[in-house]
Structure 1
Amino acid sequence: MAATGSAGLPATVSEKQEFYQLLKNLINPSCMVRRQAEEIYENIPGLCKTTFLLDAVRNRRVGYEVRQMAAALLRRLLSSGFEEVYPNLPFDVQRDVKIELILAVKLETHASMRKKLCDIFAVLARNLIDENGTNHWPEGLKFLIDSIHSKNVVLWEVALHVFWHFPGIFGNQDRHDLDIIKRLLDQCIQDQEHPAIRTLSARAAAAFVLANENNIALFKDFSDLLPGILQAVNDSCYQDDDSVLESLVEIADTVPKYLGPYLEDTLQLSLKLCGDSRLSNLQRQLALEVIVTLSETATPMLKKHTNIIAQAVPHILAMMVELQDDEDWVNADEMEEDDFDSNAVAAESALDRLACGLGGKIVLPMTKEHIMQMLQSPDWKCRHAGLMALSAIGEGCHQQMEPILDETVNSVLLFLQDPHPRVRAAACTTLGQMATDFAPSFQKKFHETVIAALLRTMENQAAAESMPFLLECARSRGPEYISQMWKCICDPLIKAIGTEPDTDVLSEIMNSFAKSIEVMGDGCLNDEHLEELGGILKAKLEGHFKNQELRQVKRQEENYDQQVEMSLQDEDECDVYILTKVSDILHSLFSTYKEKILPWFEQLLPLIVNLICSSRPWPDRQWGLCIFDDIIEHCSPTSFKYVEYFRWPMLLNMRDNNPEVRQAAAYGLGVMAQFGGDDYRSLCSEAVPLLVKVIKCANSKTKKNVIATENCISAIGKILKFKPNCVNVDEVLPHWLSWLPLHEDKEEAIQTLSFLCDLIESNHPIVIGPNNSNLPKIVSIIAEGKINETINCEDPCAKRLANVVRQIKTSEELWLECISHLDDEQQEALLELLNFA
């Protein structure tokens, strides 16, 4: 498949057919066939890929699914792989790609395929505008403008679709270009004959405004397009299209000043939509989101329209009530995702954000009467929603609620006896939230009463969930007081771990107990507590293994079928979830008690060792390794006495097919180096080649594998830093630097950046590179760390990284060389780091 004709098209019919078959194999249901096809595809040169894909996209005889795959691959090639592929194509091939793409868009008859081609068009156009804003595809721009001026509605859609996805296609926008853009949008947004054109033009107009968020003058010039956008919002909602409304939310969030001249119209429209039961829950949520977002981004403007906000409050509260369908509601997973997100999360969050954005003086008078009526309702759904609303507005209305705190808390306490379990749960949640929001007052008046009341409702997840917060709240009253509170809480929690039959409630109780240990610290459990807890955890682990054996027996019975298997898998998931909570409790004990807890732990050791046997299911091995990771991290160097239990499982599981298992093993190898002492030197040496092999694997950076891979990179960094005599530093360090930055695992990423600072500050010659050759790479690593929000400007590491950048800036020539490799987003990230760190 390497040969091509002079125009860049496939040289022979057989090569075309071979490539079409490859595309079919890429969508084959067989994993093995797909994997082989992917390997072949990755090895095809960029020139061939481009021309073959473009040919497949245009060839209607190869089948729609194949054309779809070709379009997806071509789009990816021209976006993520543009710099590697397109500039290296011969000039005539580049020209033909542009010509063929325009023809393909113009002649395509399948609407869905045409949209995909428009996306490819937009990607190519985006990449053909240089850093100075010069458009290097004027023929493409001319085609779009000519399309708008034609009488062909399909071509109008093409032009608007591209402009929507790439509003910067005009490049440098001088006065003439702005006039063209405005006429283009104005003409289409007023088209009464074709609703789809109005919708597309509204999307494109919104995209253009968002793309020019810093151009205040432009907003004045383009503000008269807003009525058309608002009309398109209204029309599209009733046509089951949310896209324009989504754009309006984004404008409210990003450029609220644009809405200024028509703010009341925007609010009135949003109010109308969020109250219209004919619309979907998602549409009503989005309409509500416009109002709520403006309360945060345009507070001064919105305070002039509090009458409209007041009208929105009943809609918010009504949405919260609509979450509950009937008395049998037990699990959010059984509901439509749309319902759950729209009503529960959005409405509750909306109240919280309104209260914080506009302040209690405005919001509490709007909400108090409504909430009180809901709390007094005979309908449990209203009572539940009223409690959640009370919890949501607490922080924003703090000062205004202080005078009525006694009345409010006493009212909520009554709901702990409500006949409906969800109302009792909401009361627990509300009390926990109020303990945080009103900490000083709450401690003085209600702390003991509330804890006693919650302990009586320990069958409730929310009651258990509140305990650590109440303990933290009590801390300010001194060690004696918090100790007394813990005595009241500890015994019931331990007993509940041993007796609670409901998995969901049990998991929350175990989680609460683990967090409470971390709040209370070393010495919080006496010998009787530890003895009882040890027996309970031992029983949980033994039950875990017994249940697995029983499930295997059921798989051999005559009545075994797919339905039975699904039930067994559900049981297995519940067991594994409880196993994770056992791990959480052990983590809290190890992190709090350190090596002092090891004699107690040894009663569980055989069971934990059993978890990491090679014959166990992968979740057992993952969580067993995590427990040993905690022992190594928090109990070193004493942990070495258990090394023969976990040495080979840790090394062997570096090759496991499951990334979660590899991650647990890699993390353990890293903390061995960091905390393990000299006894771990040989094990660290053995670990390095295994870690490198995982990192260099072809699919190591896929979404599924990247977290495990980043833990491997971090582990090598820890070995280089803490056990440098276990490895050839000069050989490994350049590789380690080439693997940076880490993107996904924020905790490991910041540790890696801290080590990078150590190396730079010591002027390590390998890291700096001959003649400072590695500094551009280092600067890009720092920029990416800021973009990915790994670097928090208040963190000490951020200040060190900012100082590195400042030091480089002292040499103008070196600085220009470094930033020449960065895009605009990376340069802005560095500027923000320098300004705030």
Structure 2
Amino acid sequence: EEDNDSNSVVAESSLDRLACGLGGKTVLPHINATLSQMLQSDNWKCRHAALMAISAVGEGCHKQMEGMLPQIMDAVIRFLQDPHPRVRYAACNAIGQMATDFAPIFQKKFHEMVVPGLLHVMDDGVNPRVQAHAGAALVNFSEVCPKNILTTYLPTIIAKLESILAAKFKELMECGTKLVLEQVVTTVASVADTAEEKFVEYYDRFIPCLMYIIENANSPDLRLLRGKTIECVSLIGLAVGADKFLTDAGKMMDLLLKAQTNQEEMADDDPQVSYLISAWARICKIMGKRFEPYLPLVMGPVLKTASLKPEVALLDNEDMNAVDGDDDWQFVSIGEQQNFGIRTAGLEEKATACQMLVCYARELKDGFGDYTEQVVKLMVPMLKFYFHDGVRTAAAESLPFLLECAKIKGPQYLAEMWQYMCPELLKAIETEPESEVLSEHMYAMAKCIEVLGMGCLTNDQITELIRIVDKSLKEHFERAVKRQEQRKDEDYDEVVEEQLLDEDDEDVYLLSKVADITHALFAAYGQHFFPFFDALLPHFVKLLGDDRPWPDHQWGLCIFDDVIEFGGPACDKYTDHFLQALLKFVADKQGEVRQAAAYGCGVLGQFSGPAFAPVCAQAIPLLVQVIESPDARNEVNLNPTENAIAAVTKILKYNASAINVDEVIPLWLSWLPVWEDTDEAPHVYGYLCDLIDGNHPLVLGPNNSNLPRLMAIFSEAFKREAVEKDAEVTKRMLNIVQQLQANPDMFQACISQLTQEQQVALHQYLTT
């Protein structure tokens, strides 16, 4: 095992930092010039070093290496069969790292060479470290591998993992060796996690052995193995689903709790703790309400870990020498002589425990009601736990779920809980330093408002929230200006541009959370929110300006869509601000912008009232042009196109007084079926049912000649699960099909024109 201070390890981490700091354009040419010679060297150390260098620079040289991946892989893959084990190890390392750095492109392009290559190395029983590292590389490959690719290799992968598991389990029993066994358990977990329900047929081949390990691996040196096995079984359970796993879920919980009846027996740094806490949450997700009886037994350890208070220290420069190199502590200098330190051990476990509390609240709802007060008092102060972003994120995420859980306790209890949460959440949004965490805080506020509805905020609280949103929007525009200025600097290059694009993405995500908050406020307060909204109006109008980037247009439109949807006819007061932009952006080149504009046209038809009928008539030809464009059904355009179809549907149904509906209906019918946007599909199929139930001649055709086509539309919708089986519109569609069944000859004529898949889907919907 290499020491962390050895030259090779230090050089590798330094190369990583150099690549990230200087960028691939600067670093990669130097590396390329050296590596090709080193890979051809007779000295195994040179080949090993070259492969480890490829692993190290992938993140920093991402853009440049992505185009060279075929050449890189051609060079690397052959070293999986190198005569020296350290070189084979390094080849596994390089492949595993590239599988992470370049996912999912890497998996799509190179699965045919990577999977067989790694499985071959996993046969290297003479060199357990190499064997284990091949398993680790397979984890990296499979955890982000598209499911359809991985499942083609599933029989081969499973056979290999099963044989290694059996052999290494035997070794454990006879010799006590466990390195490869620990890894293969993790690899099984990763493969199951990606394969999901496709793993069902292999379930019984793994579970007995894994459950045996959980039950019997009780000695201190087997704690990590037991922890990883617990993780593996719970991930398999999540993959195969409740129907298959439920019988073993209770047995597993009993096994876990048998060794966990007294938390004091398990040390805080026991590696099993984090695995246990995560496994309980997964089993909770699988069992649902049936998990409730276990809550009193699991909440103690989870709350204890979530409540962990980190050790902190203030050291002068002389004292720092004593802890230099201690990875358990992180220090920042405050002034010339003082250093503030925090012991990082346990922080990840704390964050995991907090996330598991989120899971319990989300899955169990009123079954978690008795724990809400205790958990709220734990979580709310952790909105300001600045030692770990994940803890603050989980704290914010928990709040709306805890409110849902608390509803069973009555309105007074719920109101008191919210009045405890709300001021602290507002303060956290105001002071949060990290953009990603701030986004989660804002989203939590939006979801809390959605849960509680009208009246949840006092006028003062709404005013404070608007002030915070106003500040956020001002900063959004200021940061955009600053980034444009940086693009004019003499130091500007593609490395700077990548950084600026990352900042752009962060800002767009933050803007989407502003839209979530305004959406929640409109949904709760309707047009009563208008007086507060007016304070933000100039910002939202600015988002729609021609000089703004397309994400500003997208989110500006989304906000005005809410003005229309929840303001109804009263949205008239804002038409000068949004109407022309709404119609113009229907034909925007960016799909996300078209989708937001099309949705706005739809809600204009549905909610704005008869005064807007001429505008709706104006929108129809614009929407038709988008729907009928040659590339409208391309994958990237499908959602915007279906939103446009839904918009035409809503205008025809709700606001068609200025339109000749019979001119549009044949065209509209030719666009069906729709399936991609499952939120909008019910509107389309609901209107189709209206027309069929009303015996509309243009829909049914002369002598009902369109019935086979209508049956095909319904069946395709069922095949693609465009509508949920228990939805009201689905019942209407099936009722029409059942009426058709009353005429066996006609029904058979319709069925005969369906594909086999459509027939199967129709049968499934009719019989469930």
> Are 2:751 and 1:830 equivalent residues in the alignment?
no
- Residues 797 and 664 of structure 1: CA distance in aligned 2, closer, same or farther (over 3 Å): same
Query: 1:373-412 maps to which residues of 2 (within 5 A)?
Result: 376-377=266-267, 379=269, 383-394=273-284, 396=287, 398=291, 401-402=294-295, 404=297, 407-408=300-301, 410-412=303-305
Any idea what the Cα deviations from partners look like across 1:581-612, whole Å, max 9, x if unmatched?
Answer: 00000000001110100111100001100001
2:433 & 2:720 partners in 1: Cα distance? 42
Q: Are the counterparts in 2 of residues 351 and 389 from structure 1 also a CA contact under 8 Å?
A: no
Matches within 5 A, 1:259-408: 276=180, 283-285=187-189, 306=208, 308-311=210-213, 346=235, 349=238, 356-368=245-257, 376-377=266-267, 379=269, 383-394=273-284, 396=287, 398=291, 401-402=294-295, 404=297, 407-408=300-301
Alpha-carbon contact 2:564-2:607 (below 8 Å) kept: yes
Match of 2:354 in 1: 428
Query: Does structure 2 retain, via aligned residues, the 8 Å contact 1:674–1:719?
Result: yes
Aligned partners of 1:471 and 1:516 also within 8 Å: yes
> How do residues 86-235 of structure 1 correspond to structure 2 at under 5 angstroms?
none
TM-score (norm 1): 0.62
Go from structure 1 to structure 2 and tell me whether the alpha carbon gap of 1:749 and 1:398 turns closer, same or farther (over 3 Å shift): same
Mapped pair 1:743 → 2:680:
no
Q: 1:447: which partner in 2?
A: 372
8 Å CA contact 2:189–2:233 kept in 1: the answer is no
Match of 2:512 among 551, 575, 580: 580
Mapped partners of 1:398, 1:704: distance in 2? 41
Inter-CA distance 318–693: structure 2 relative to 1 (3 Å threshold): farther
Where does structure 1 lack aligned partners over 5 or more consecutive residues? Answer: 1-111, 113-195, 200-235, 254-258, 324-341
Q: 2:575 corresponds to which residue?
A: 643
Query: Which residue of structure 2 aligns with residue 790 of structure 1?
Result: 722
Return the offset for 1:760. 0.6
Inter-partner Cα distance in structure 1 for 2:225 and 2:569: 58
Give me the whole-angstrom Cα distance separating, in 2, the residues matched to 1:375 and 1:429: 24
1:456 aligned partner: 381
Does residue 633 in structure 1 map to residue 565 in structure 2?
yes
Contact 2:715-2:759 within 8 A present in 1 as well: yes
**2:559 and 2:741 mapped to 1: Cα distance?**
46
Gap change, CA 1:541 and 1:398, over 3 Å in 2: same
Shift of 1:727: 1.8
Q: In 2 relative to 1, CA 689–534 (structure 1 residues): closer, same or farther, beyond 3 Å?
A: same
Could you tell me which residue of structure 1 aligns to residue 608 of structure 2? 676
Partner-residue secondary structure (3-state), 2:657: helix
Quick one: distance in 1 between partners of 2:396 and 2:420?
13
RMSD over equivalenced CA pairs, Å: 4.2
Are 1:792 and 1:798, in contact at CA under 8 Å, matched by a contact in 2?
Answer: yes
Paired residues in the alignment total 579
Gaps of 5+ in 2: 1-73, 75-112, 117-133, 143-147, 172-177, 312-342, 385-391
Q: Matches of 1:428 and 1:734 in 2, distance apart?
A: 55
Tell me by how many angstroms 1:405 deviates.
5.0
Amino acid at match of 2:277: L
SS for the counterpart of 1:724 is coil
Question: Shift of the alpha carbon at 1:803?
Answer: 1.2
CA distance in 2, matches of 1:484, 1:530: 18
1:730-809 correspondence to structure 2 within 5 Å: 730-809=662-741
Q: For the residues of structure 2 that align with 1:560 and 1:375, how far apart are their CA atoms?
A: 58
CA deviations over 1:347-389 (Å, ceiling 9, x no partner) = 7946986995224441113333677889945548654333222
Determine the structure 2 residue equivalent to 1:414. Answer: 307
Label 1:352 to 1:495 Cα distance change in 2 as closer, same or farther (>3 A). Answer: farther
Shift of 1:553: 1.0
Alignment of 1:426-825 (within 5 A): 426-436=352-362, 442-444=368-370, 446-459=371-384, 460-825=392-757
Alpha-carbon distance in structure 2 between the residues aligned to 1:519 and 1:531: 20
Secondary structure at the aligned position of 2:662 is classed as helix
Partner of residue 317, structure 2? none
**Cα deviation, residue 422, structure 1:** 2.5
Name the counterpart of 1:162.
Answer: none
| 2:213–2:226 Cα contact (<8 Å) kept | no
Deviations 1:424-451 (A, max 9, x none): 222222223334556566433x322221
CA distance in structure 1 between the partners assigned to 2:270 and 2:585 by the alignment: 51
Once residues 270 and 774 of structure 1 are traced to their aligned partners in structure 2, the CA distance between those partners, rounded to angstroms, is: 64
Match of 1:222 in 2: none
Instruction: Say whether the 8 Å CA contact 1:246–1:286 is kept in structure 2.
Output: no
Counterpart residue identity of residue 284, structure 1? V
Distance in 1 (CA, whole Å) between partners of 2:427 and 2:242 is 39
Partner AA of 1:786 in structure 2: F
Partner AA of 2:375 in structure 1? V
State the structure with bigger RCO (CA 8 A, min sep 6), 1 or 2.
2
Partners of 1:355 and 1:363 within 8 A in 2: no
Separation in structure 1 between the aligned mates of residue 270 and residue 561 of structure 2, nearest angstrom: 46
Shift of 1:495: 1.3
1:678 deviation in Å? 1.2
**Partner-residue secondary structure (3-state), 2:478:** helix
Q: Structure 2 vs 1, CA of residues 606 and 308 (structure 1 numbering), >3 Å: closer, same or farther?
A: closer
For residues 820 and 442 of structure 1, do their structure 2 counterparts lie closer, same or farther at Cα, with a shift above 3 Å needed?
Answer: closer
The answer to whether the Cα contact below 8 Å between 2:307 and 2:350 also exists between their aligned partners in 1 is no
Cα distance change on mapping 1:593 and 1:549 into 2, 3 Å = same
Q: Deviations over 1:505-539 (max 9, x none)?
A: 11111111100001111011101101111111111
C-alpha contact 1:670 1:716 (8 A) present in aligned 2: yes
Secondary structure of 1:705 counterpart: helix
CA separation of 1:574/1:686 partners in 2, compared to 1, >3 Å: closer, same or farther? same
CA distance 1:650–1:343, shift in 2 (3 Å): farther
TM-score after normalising by structure 2: 0.67
> What is the DSSP-based 3-state SS (H/G/I as helix, E as strand, rest coil) of the residue aligned with 1:704?
helix
Letter in 2 for 1:394: C
Letter of the 2:394 counterpart: A
Q: Tell me how far apart the structure 1 counterparts of residues 265 and 641 of structure 2 sit (CA, whole Å).
A: 51
Cα distance in structure 2, aligned partners of 1:687 and 1:476: 46
Following the alignment from structure 1 to structure 2, what is the Cα–Cα distance between the partners of residues 308 and 367? 13
| Identical positions, percent | 35
Letter in structure 1 aligned against 2:358: G
Measure, in 1, the Cα distance between the counterparts of 2:418 and 2:182.
52
- Could you tell me how far apart the structure 2 residues matched to 1:544 and 1:289 are? 38
